[in-house]
Amino acid sequence: MMGVSISVAGASRAFGGVYAVREVGLDVPPGELRAVIGPNGAGKSTLFALIGGQLALDAGTVRLDGARIDRLPAHRRARLGVSVVFQGARIFPRMTALENVMVGAHTATRSGFLTAALRLPAHARSERLIASRARASLDRVGLAQWADRPAESLPLGQQRALQLARALCGRPRLLLLDEPASGLRTGEREHLAALLAELRSEGLTMLLVEHDVGFVMRLADRVTVLDLGRVIAEGSPAEVRADPAVIAAYLGDHQGSAA
């Protein structure tokens, strides 16, 4: 996978006159796993939605490999390789696990509505390719045996893994993960950590929001800390752990544990 650089400058977004994100700056080089941490209400999920295009900026810019994308709708950003896995299991319950993952590749296929409606050979070839890619993505997240089962029958942990498989099926260049380890058992967390480390070794750029500080600190290359919508610290995991402002605002006596 070829990662991209992501640069956020002066990003601000308010709701009802209250800023959820205010003048946030973030520069992540290709292939880095950047963690974004902070207490509840710090603006982490809002920042992800601003990068992914689910929310519009009030001010600021978002650039992908130097090109502005903040004026593009979410589906256009997805075509450029921006994929967001939001907190909470978001699945299509009446579809199988495999069909759920295949949805993630729709931006990569060249078959349009007409080829699908007429069942032209190009559509059939595209569907076979996407199904193969989807099965590989399911296998990668440990869900190969669930492929043909209804998605709604999967336990919560597997439903969260299903969302990650769907994102990977779209071959992202920038992957934003909003609390992917939340609700997972120990073994599932270890599998997720190993997968993220593998994706980083392949060059994928990732932004990770996670409340489990220990999980974050052993995976992240660098950490950005938000509090009340502003960046209060940034650095290596060791530097952030020792920052007095971060300890006061967030870490406290929760270092190394879930917060």
Residue identified by tokens 């993952």 is: 101
Whole-angstrom Cα distance, residue 208 to residue 213? Answer: 11
What per-residue confidence (pLDDT) applies to 115? 46
Quote the CA–CA distance of 139 and 153 in Å, as a whole number.
18
CATH topology agreement for domains 1-81+172-259 and 90-171: yes
CA dihedral 210, 213, 217, 220 (to 10 degrees): 10
Q: What is the pLDDT along the chain (259 residues), one digit of tens a residue?
A: 678 999 999 999 999 999 999 999 999 999 999 999 999 999 999 999 999 999 999 999 999 999 999 999 999 999 999 999 988 768 898 899 999 999 888 654 444 444 444 455 666 777 888 999 999 999 999 999 999 999 999 998 899 899 999 999 999 999 999 999 887 889 989 999 999 999 999 999 999 999 888 999 999 999 999 999 999 999 999 999 999 999 998 876 455 443 3
Looking at the DSSP assignment, which residues form a beta bridge with residue 150? Answer: 96
Domain positions in the chain are 1-81+172-259, 90-171
What is the rounded CA–CA span in Å between residue 179 and residue 22?
A: 21
CATH class of 1-81+172-259: alpha beta
Classify burial at 14, counting beta carbons within 10 Å of its beta carbon; exposed 0-12, middle 13-18, buried 19 or more: middle
140-161 in b/e burial notation, b at 16+ Cβ within 10 A? bbbbeebbeebbeebeebbbbb
Q: How far apart are the C-alpha atoms of 199 and 140, rounded to whole Å?
A: 11
* 33-37 vs 18-28, strand pairing mode: unpaired
* Burial of residue 11 (number of CB atoms within 10 Å: 0-12, 13-18, 19+): buried
Which of these, 226, 105, 116, 220, lies nearest to 172 by C-alpha position? 105
What token pair was written down for 66? 């130097």
At 123 the pLDDT is 62
Q: What are phi and psi of 129, to 5 degrees?
A: -65, -45
Q: Is the dihedral of CA 247, 252, 257, 259 positive or negative?
A: negative
At a CB cut-off of 8 Å and minimum separation 6, what does 137 contact?
101, 104, 165, 166, 168, 169
Single-letter amino acid code for the residue at 58: D
Q: What's the CATH code, domain 90-171?
A: 3.40.50.300
